[in-house]
Structure 1
């Protein structure tokens, strides 16, 4: 009996030691194989190709749009870290924005993420990618997505000091239908300074006579009286500036006669009033 018990105990200790040895070897193997593997802390991942994304979607484009949109929104803020916006790769972000819009061209989730969040980078030049994306998104239907054109105009004027992009976004607004608020249509002209005479003149020259009449008689712009119309005063100031410098119209490639002809539509005070 004692021999049997002793034999069982020996087998028990042998099996136990084998198990401990197995776990020890397993630990050592995985330790040496994985000790140099670090978590992927890439702030802005490289966007995959459209066909690969289509495969991931499994037919549900809306899901893949929101899933990766959320991942881009939270990129750089994982593993208990937070990342300043200036450290993001905005060229990659723009590619992500354009790619995701292929899966949901109507939703404004990604434009909101770009225009209201990522536009706050501590490096103002990052907004070049944001502005170009917003313009490309909104130009498909400016009357519906006019808000993002005004955002693009604001970012271009205030953060980039780039009046060329202000003009590009503003022209899209000026040529849309009456569904767009008048303040939005003229936001580019209001942002122009005296140093940007050519850009403001080009915007004014792009107005059709019917649009000009609508702006020149708008009650919001006019205040107490039509002749005090803010928009009209801006145009008159531009006309005065260009007349002071006869070469300005030629330099800006805008006929001063096209600008001057709008004066007949500007409301003026009647004699004795």
Structure 2
């Protein structure tokens, strides 16, 4: 009899635990975890101290954290909802930890640069602007992406022209010619035809030694078919062998 009562008590406790579990589940299941958005980045000292002074390990770990900020509650957040000002502090932090890596610059330019709200992109552009002047090979490409974001996403041609001027200064023989051409192309699109003509002509005359003939032909085509008027084209010696479009 005692054993039977003991078994009944065990079953009651089990049933009570199950009912309590179900009650908690039904009460909490409609609630979704709240996304805290992008927090401000820690200091460089604090970040490296968290990884026992290993700056490279800190960089790699924090870069992955940066990539997954919008998924930390099991939901996918739209980039337009991110706090881009705080995001900029994470770009600065990772740049201090490792200024040579391409991982975070690529993430900034081609992932975070895709925000549905282009008005938030200034921290991305300023970060790419800085990284794009670093001396490592091909870093200038990030400055080129900054020009693209400023002109096509933010619709800020003045800023794009300013960035394109900085991009042209990164040019070295052996590089593609478009860093030289970018400012002239933008100036032409903005209606500054004389400025565009002078810049293209300067590139052809003074940088000719390092340019591929195809690049030179492209610039001549830009001058003759996009910058000059039909009347100007007829009297310009550059356009003698150019077929009009």
Q: Is TM (by shorter chain) over 0.5?
A: yes
Taking only aligned residues, the RMSD between alpha carbons, in angstroms, comes to 3.9
Structure 1 residue aligned with 2:165:
171
Give yes or no for the alignment of 1:152 onto 2:143: no
Which of 37, 48, 60 is residue 43 of structure 1 equivalent to?
Answer: 37
**TM-score, length basis structure 1:** 0.64
Structure 2 residue aligned with 1:210:
206
- Cα 1:203–1:145 change in 2 (3 A) is farther
Q: Secondary structure at the match of 1:233?
A: helix
Structure 2 residue aligned with 1:248:
none
Gaps of 5+ in 1: 1-5, 14-19, 25-30, 242-262
What are the Cα deviations for residues 193-233 of structure 1, in whole angstroms up to 9, with x where unaligned?
4435289549828956412x45998324526xxxx822433
8 Å contact kept, 1:138–1:146 = yes
Provide the rounded CA distance (Å) in 2 between the counterparts of 1:60 and 1:126. Answer: 32
Count matched residues. 214
Q: Secondary structure at the match of 1:229?
A: helix
Give yes or no for the alignment of 1:69 onto 2:60: no
- Cα 1:222–1:215 change in 2 (3 A) is farther
Give yes or no for the alignment of 1:229 onto 2:223: no
8 Å contact kept, 1:156–1:163 = yes
8 Å contact kept, 2:168–2:183 = no
What are the Cα deviations for residues 53-78 of structure 1, in whole angstroms up to 9, with x where unaligned?
12123232111111111111100212
Structure 2 residue aligned with 1:78:
72
Give yes or no for the alignment of 1:183 onto 2:178: yes
Q: Secondary structure at the match of 2:121?
A: helix
Which of 129, 133, 142 is residue 127 of structure 2 equivalent to?
Answer: 133
Q: Secondary structure at the match of 2:99?
A: coil
Shift >6 Å, 4+ stretches: none
Provide the rounded CA distance (Å) in 2 between the counterparts of 1:84 and 1:97. Answer: 19
What are the Cα deviations for residues 14-36 of structure 1, in whole angstroms up to 9, with x where unaligned?
xxxxxx9xxx9xxxxxx9xxx9x
Provide the rounded CA distance (Å) in 2 between the counterparts of 1:198 and 1:127. Answer: 29
Q: Secondary structure at the match of 1:52?
A: helix
Q: State the shift of 1:41 in Å.
A: 2.6
Once the two structures are overlaid, the 10-residue window that deviates more, 184-193 or 87-96, is: 184-193
Q: Secondary structure at the match of 1:102?
A: helix
Give yes or no for the alignment of 1:96 onto 2:119: no
Once the two structures are overlaid, the 10-residue window that deviates more, 98-107 or 168-177, is: 168-177
What are the Cα deviations for residues 231-266 of structure 1, in whole angstroms up to 9, with x where unaligned?
43378529x99xxxxxxxxxxxxxxxxxxxxx88x4
Provide the rounded CA distance (Å) in 1 between the counterparts of 2:132 and 2:194. Answer: 21
